[in-house]
Chains A and B, each alone.
Chain A
Amino acid sequence: MWLLKKDGSWLPIDSSELITANRVTPESFDGDLEHIAQTGQSVIISFSGPHDGRGFSFAKRLKQFAPELKLIASGGLTPDHARLCFQTGFDEILLSEELVVRQSASAWQTAVEMSVDKTYVEGKVHSNIPSIWQERALAQSIATNE
């Protein structure tokens, strides 16, 4: 197993290291955010496949409710999901050996620097570069102050 971190770093991991993490699937979530927040420091959110985006909304809501939780994405993701994961509140992505080998380690290593790295509403994942709208607002306020 491998862990891809939000800052782009990348390390092998023994699955036993995740034994204390709380595992949840968005499809079985009963709405009780408080219960999840109380049951551990780390939460692994499993995606049922590359087409199911529930995990993104689930992470967003959970992170808003309990910002201190470490959220880890797992499931059949691709490097193209990395931006989506990190912009919706995940801290790490858990990858199987198969995903790393087939989709290529280099693609995963550059996943957070894929061509589209920020959107109108969300900034860059691993730097302090804000969203497009925030950048425009900043430029406007500088222009107004000058």
Chain B
Amino acid sequence: MYNYDSHDQAFVEARSREFRDQVERRITGKLSEDEFKPMRLMNGVYLQLHAYMLRVAIPYGTLSADQMRKLAFLAEKYDRGYGHFTTRQNIQYNWPKLIDIPDMLDHLAEVQMHAIQTSGNCIRNVTSDPFAGVAGDEWIDPRPTAELLRQWSSLHPEFAYLPRKFKFAVTGAAEDRTALKFHDIGLKVKPGVDDNPAYEIWVGGGQGRTPRIAVLFEDNVPLSELLPKLDSMLRVYNLHGRRDNKYKARIKILVAEYGLENYRRDVEEDLALQSLEPFEPAVAEYHRIAKDFEQSDLTPLPSASNGDNPPALASWIKQNVTSHKVPGYGVVSISLKPKGGIPGDATAEQMYALADLADRYSQGELRVTHRQNIVLPSVAAKDFAALHEALVKQGLAEDNIGQLSDIIACPGLDYCALATARSIPVAQELSTQLREREKRDDLSGLTLNISGCINACGHHHAASIGILGLNRAETESYQITLGGSSNDNASVGGILGPGFAQSEIPGAIDRILDFYIGSKQEGESFNQTYRRLGKAAFREAVYVAA
């Protein structure tokens, strides 16, 4: 893991002091609410429906056990005993008091954490592959690049007030586990020359009201040119992105309306003017950072036999453990989607337990996934049984990773001031229903994502089955989309038809699944069946059969 040096530490402590001062100036009226709002947002503080919410950055989803303990402590001391892990690998606290937030930031700084740029119209927390460094299909570890981007973008003087929020994802593996093509900029890291990486830069992806899949901006960009190029890409966006309509302000709209070729030309023209001096240390910085991520030597172990395992353990291993690049180890995903539970929520007690388990079984390291689960990246196969037993005691042994019941859901109308409908109760009811159904049908590989409004934080566009909560004539109405995907062949789900009342959703989902299972050909995925048969066939099965 990356370890802060004295500069990093001084930086987060200074930011914490700065925010304390901003809060004081707001309280004494020196700053108006209009002036203060972007400052608090840039530090992850939202005003939600019932209280302030603090979003804490978990850069590229990587956490140490001590950091997880600190998150548990914050949940216990300043919240109501739980936290919510988000689709951008962050954690949110829903009930802190504004006056306590500077203290929370001081606590975070003690363990090399912060809330810098977790919201606001700036460059947000950089996300990455939760299996980084341990995945067998990895070309190159994306975390040094993600950390380099974190440093470059942190309190960047030019990009604090962009037209809209700006999201980066970085991956270095064959399988995309980051929803890369739904980001403003996605970077694919590949081996370059002289031990330096090179990059594919994808631009203009995003969800929200106008979902777009990113397009390739440039291939094979050497490390030494990466940051000047990104600086120019952001500068052109900052100058020309639309500010008259927040729904048209993301870079995806600029690229679509202005045209990729024009955008590229403007970036090149800007680049020609740029002074490269500030970026000169970047290559050395990358290698300094990369040293911290070199895998501590894991000794290959003989693979443990799972033949005699009790069924619950065997099923959990089959579903939740992915192969590790070092023989004898596994990458263990811990589901935060218990039957009937709230997706992504963990209690303080569970967070403390996860920290202890990371220390005992996974070199003190954890990851957060964009599907709102937790990963222990390096667990010896001989420890699977003991780990599983400990997880059962904490209610964390759900064996549904990659199943349909591994639902993504945003907080929706239970917390979010922007929501048009509730997401959490829909997810809770469906997870109960789907866990039962998974006992008889193979629903692995399908995804179900729920958003409480068109902002699409619950990634509904990118799911095999997406649910979008809307408000129609003062009642909640849920629109279903089918055929979305966030992997390398990213696609945006298509709207199936008129919306459903909340009580009608379970029946509609059942009919979709009945039709898929009854119609699929050997080895066919849900999206393949959907594309082969077309929307009309599914529509008929869902609406006519109702």
State the A residues within 8 Å of B (CB). Answer: 26-27, 29, 50-54, 56-58, 60-61, 64-65, 76, 78, 80, 83-84, 87-88, 102-104, 107, 114-117, 119-122, 131-137, 140
Contact = CB atoms under 8 A, between A and B. Distances in A.
A58 B274 CA distance: 13
A120 B155 CA distance: 9
Given A57-B238, A80-B39, A107-B25, A133 B30 contact: no
Given A53-B161, A56-B157, A56-B161, A131 B278 contact: yes
A122 B160 CA distance: 14
B88 interface: no
A140 B285 CA distance: 11
Given A116-B11, A137-B281, A51 B121 contact: yes
Q: Number of contact residues on B: which range applies? A: 35 or more
B30 A102 contact: yes
Closest 9 CB pairs of A and B: A53-B161, A115-B18, A87-B157, A133-B281, A115-B17, A137-B281, A120-B151, A84-B157, A57-B238
B188 interface: no
A26 B239 contact: yes
23 contacts: A29-B239, A53-B121, A53-B158, A53-B159, A56-B160, A57-B235, A57-B238, A60-B235, A61-B273, A80-B22, A103-B25, A114-B18, A115-B14, A115-B18, A117-B14, A119-B11, A119-B156, A120-B151, A131-B278, A133-B151, A133-B281, A136-B7, A140-B284
Contacts of A50: 34-35, 38, 161
Given A115-B14, A116-B18, A135 B157 contact: no
Nearest to A56: B158
Contact of A64 (B11, B274, B285, B288): B274
A84 B42 CA distance: 14
A134 B281 CA distance: 6
Contacts of B275: 64
B279 interface: yes
B162 interface: yes
B154 interface: yes
Best-buried of A51, A103, A104, A137 by chain B (most CB within 10 Å):
A51
B270 interface: yes
Nearest to A80: B39
B157 A132 contact: no
B157 A119 contact: yes
Contact of A121 (B31, B156, B239, B270): B156
A133 to B, nearest CB: 4
Nearest to A83: B157
B110 interface: no
B265 to A, nearest CB: 12
A119 B158 CA distance: 12
Given A107-B30, A115-B18, A117-B14, A136 B157 contact: no
B238 A54 contact: yes
B436 interface: no
Interface in B133-151: 151
Given A119-B155, A134-B281, 18 more contacts: A51-B121, A51-B161, A53-B160, A53-B161, A56-B160, A58-B239, A60-B235, A64-B275, A78-B31, A87-B158, A88-B158, A103-B25, A104-B25, A107-B25, A115-B18, A119-B157, A120-B154, A136-B5
A137 B280 contact: yes
